[in-house]
Amino acid sequence: MDLWTLSATQPTRELASRLTVSNGLIGIKDLAEIPQLQAVPMTDTVAYVNGFYDYEPIQYGEAQFGFPQRNQTMIPLPAPTQLQLWLDDVAVDLNQGQVIDQHYALDMRTGQFTHTLIWEATATGQQLKIKIDRLTSLHMAALMGQRLTVEALNFKIGKLRVVAGLHATATAKSTAFDPRLAHYDPHDILDHQEVSQPTPDIRGLSLNALHSDQQLSLFVHYDQPGQWVDDGNWTGEFAFEQGKVSLTKTVWFALGTTSLPEAATDGLKTSFEALAQVQTADLQQFWATSDIKISGDEASQLGIRFSQFGLLQALGGHQGSHGIAAKGLTGSGYNGHYFWDTEIYEAPFFYWNHPELARRLLLVRYQQLPHAKTYAQSLGLAGALFPWRTINGEESSAYFPASTAAIHIDADVAYLVIRYFQITHDAAFMRDYGLEILIETSRFYLDYGNFDAQKGFVLNTVTGPDEYTALVNNNAYTNYLVQFELRYLTDHYDQRTVGHFKVSNQEWARFKKAADEMYFETQGDLIAQDDSFLSKKRLDLSRIPRDQFPLLTHYHPLVLYRLQVLKQADLILAMVLLPEQFTDQQVQTNYDYYEPITTHDSSLSPAIYAIAAARLGKYAGAIDFFKRTINTDLENLQGNTADGLHLAAMGGSWITFAWGLMGLEIDDQHATLHPYLPTGWTQCAFKLQYRGTVYAITVTPADLTVTGAVGDEVTIDQASRTIQIQATKQF
């Protein structure tokens, strides 16, 4: 079994999501490049450009003041991958022949998608082996390359005609837009495309998003002689020499311009072989500091790699300034919006393996800060409130009880600022960007909350992570994260350090006081999810039929909000993010209380319970949750992989492995690990980057070893199976 490759023979909508190639900027999803060779139903044929969106007005039955007025939607474009072939003027289709072999693969070492099939002409028995290789370049993010290779298997002389392009086939147009996934019909803008010819062998296609007025240009190059056709297609004719024809198409996606960018000319003329070589080299580098090697469990090995590869594909390399959409660039689910998933679920992989990429994610938030200040102001509040869902930084949510009210988004961003800094000690980042985020979000909280005479600092009328509960007072997760932020800020800085943010002595004192007096409703070790949660009626999940899950598709919010039932980890997530603040007994008590009423209807849930279970030594449960998380899309466990991959679960896979099984924790001075090797795993090796050093850690049943350390940075206690890495490097 090749544990670096996903492969399959049957095209499905789920497979199309899994085998999407993307690089953070562009995503190409197409299993049906030659639609004439596909039996219905067709799978999705679509391309995405991160940051290319249109607006649509949000409709409300009853609008209230301050509700967002327009939505952003990532525009689903027809994939520029479509082909139509003729062999000696006979259409290569299912009327004139049959497909006698078909194979799909995505190789995570080369970053290449490959689609191979053999077509046999009914009339002549001639067989063509058709191979399509595709990649989206990690090196030049705007570039997609696709190579068509056609081989004459059982004949020598023949003529192949190829038509390629956005409009290569009639069906391509109809499958690009799936109304189940997006309200946005891309044909509205495609009908207004403009064709240009910047050089004789490069053709441009410029689109204008109707309402956002954003521009996108696709520049196309073919490496063989051929002709441009009026409708934007290209056509070429080839004789089989040495029995083989090869045609490479490159496409450069230029956002915000109609002119051919300088870099594009060279990029477009790069051969597929050269593109592939660079791609492989880039991936070698990626895996060098992030591969996890598991011996003894092939499914987990493939699953964890698929998760890491998916995270890389969603974010890409060092270029660009876009966030990670909930589905990455693999589908139209959630309209291409970025959520808190990024900071809490996806960022940990990056800050522990590729901190420079985590920094990129933080810069995206920093760019959103002006919008976030405006948004807070529009609610009559100080500081900044980050949007619950967005592409361009504007709030794009139409249901505030489960969006704007989820003010923990600010503390989630702050959490990433702090963790990133603890791991990297990137002082320049903190000075130039991080502190401002911490100050403005703290300001927001101090204005949103208030000091109550009985309780202390309270944050009323909020929604926590659990979306089956809304508009409550003192959601514990929110309060813990806000307390962590305020305490970190006031413990590590003083009012003078942050003077340029116009923080008065009085404001600073209130930050401290709010952290000290943060309110939590408790009953002994049991911490209430919010002030009223414990007095709600407990829902007995065992009495609900399987087909009524996820509950949100069968119950009105008033039923769910009224009862003790969780969509996903809430308080337990706070315990996982801030493990040092809770005793094992507390984790145990709350795990026992909350787990039975958690539906895990959200893909964000199992990973978190896995980590808590691992801490408690409930390893069977932890492994079970771990497998659920890594298989979310490989086994279509949420039933909607067709709409795109669950990036939060991919991030969740990594934290389940690292925080859960390997017991990774962090504070200002140390990183510590308490590795656990699941039954069947004979060895496990992985890497972490901490304060600029890459540590390679190997875990066997008998032994823990760490390489990469300089001096006495690392202490290993084999008896208690604990590794401690001391933060000695200062920058």
Binding mask 474-513 for a second copy (x = CB under 8 A): ----------------------------------------
Residues 6 or more apart in contact with residue 154 via CB below 8 angstroms: 125, 126, 127
Query: Which of residues 455 and 670 has its CB atom nearest to a second copy in the complex?
Result: 455
Are 470 and 561 within 8 A, CB to CB?
A: yes
401-430 mask for a second copy (x: CB under 8 A)? Answer: xx-xx-------------------------
We find the least distance from the C-beta atom of residue 522 to a second copy, in angstroms, to be 14
Cis preceding linkage at 225, omega within 30: no
Q: Between 427 and 456, how does the x/- string for binding to a second copy read (CB under 8 A)?
A: ---------------------x-x-x-xx-
Residue 58 Cβ, how far from a second copy at the closest point, in Å? 4
Q: Which tokens is 463 given?
A: 């929604």
CB 121 within 8 A of CB 93: no
Phi/psi of residue 168, each to 5°?
A: -55, -35
Candidate residues 276, 361, 458, 677; the one interacting with a second copy per rule CB under 8 A: 458
Restricting to residues 507-566, which ones interact with a second copy according to CB under 8 A?
Answer: 531-532, 535-537, 552-559, 561-562
Q: Which amino acid, residue 13?
A: R
Nearer to a second copy, 405 or 614 (CB): 405
Which listed range, 20-28, 351-359, 468-476, 716-724, lies at the site for a second copy (CB under 8 A)?
468-476
Report in angstroms the alpha-carbon separations of 625 from 600, 606, 649, 653.
10, 5, 11, 10
Residue 693 DSSP SS3: strand
The total number of residues shown for the chain amounts to: 731
Which one of the spans 63-71, 231-239, 421-429, 579-587 is the region binding a second copy (CB under 8 A)?
63-71
Residue 17 interacts with a second copy (CB under 8 A): yes or no? no
Q: Is 394 a catalytic residue?
A: no
Q: Does 242 bind a second copy (CB under 8 A)?
A: no
CB of 378 vs a second copy, minimal distance in Å: 8
**In the bound complex, what is the minimum distance in angstroms from residue 180's beta carbon to a second copy?**
14
Q: Which stretch binds a second copy (CB under 8 A): 140-148, 298-306, 391-399, 602-610?
A: 391-399
Segment contacting a second copy by CB under 8 A, of 57-65, 101-109, 139-147, 699-707: 57-65
**Does residue 470 belong to the site contacting a second copy (CB under 8 A)?**
yes
What is residue 126's three-state secondary structure? coil
Q: How many Å from the N-terminal Cα to the C-terminal Cα in the chain?
A: 44
Size of the site for a second copy (CB under 8 A): 48
Would you say 244 or 554 has its CB closer to a second copy? 554
Q: Token pair for residue 688?
A: 């972490």
Which span (41-49, 64-72, 172-180, 487-495) binds a second copy, by CB under 8 A? 64-72
Question: Taking the CA atoms of the chain, what radius of gyration do you get in angstroms?
Answer: 27
Of 330-389, which residues contact a second copy (CB under 8 A)?
Answer: 378-381
CA distance 490 to 471: 29
Q: Is 236 or 456 the residue whose CB approaches a second copy more closely? A: 456
Minimum distance from CB of 64 to a second copy (Å)? 5
Cβ contacts of residue 404 below 8 Å, gap of 6+? 379, 385, 388, 395, 397
User: Could you please report the per-residue DSSP string of 155-182?
Assistant: -S--EEEEEESTTSSHHHHHHH--TTT-
Q: Name which position in 66, 125, 370, 617 contacts a second copy (CB under 8 A).
A: 66
- Minimum CB separation of residue 439 from a second copy in Å reads 22
Q: Taking CB under 8 A as the criterion, which residues in 209-238 touch a second copy? A: none
- The one catalytic residue in 14, 467, 485, 713 is 467
Per DSSP, the three-state class of 410 is helix
Cβ 110 to a second copy, closest distance in Å?
40
**Nearer residue to a second copy within complex by CB, 156 or 537:** 537
Question: For residues 62 and 191, which CB has a smaller minimum distance to a second copy in the complex?
Answer: 62
Query: Can you tell me whether residue 138 is helix, strand or coil?
Result: coil
Classify 695 as helix, strand or coil: strand
Smallest separation, CB 71 to a second copy (Å)? 7
Q: What's the angle, vertex CA 534, arms to CA 532 and CA 539, rounded to 5? A: 110
Q: Which of 42, 363, 471, 709 lies at the binding interface for a second copy (CB under 8 A)?
A: 471
CB of 454 to a second copy, least distance (A): 7
Which of 254/462 has CB closer to a second copy?
462
Least distance to a second copy from the beta carbon of 188, Å? 19
State the SS3 of 277-327. HHHHHHHHHHHHHHCCEEECCHHHHHHHHHHHHHHHHHHCCCCCCCCCCCC
Please say whether the dihedral angle defined by the alpha carbons of residues 590, 591, 596 and 600, taken in this order, is positive or negative.
positive
HEC readout, 497-561: CCHHHCCCHHHHHHHHHHHHCECCCEECCEECCCCCHHHCEECCHHHCCHHHCCHHHCCCHHHHH
> Is 353 in contact with 290 (CB distance < 8 Å)?
yes
Site residues (CB under 8 A) for a second copy, limited to 322-341: none
Active-site amino acid positions:
467
Contacts with a second copy by CB under 8 A lie at 58-62, 64-67, 71, 378-381, 397-402, 404-405, 448, 450, 452, 454-455, 458, 460-461, 470-471, 473, 531-532, 535-537, 552-559, 561-562
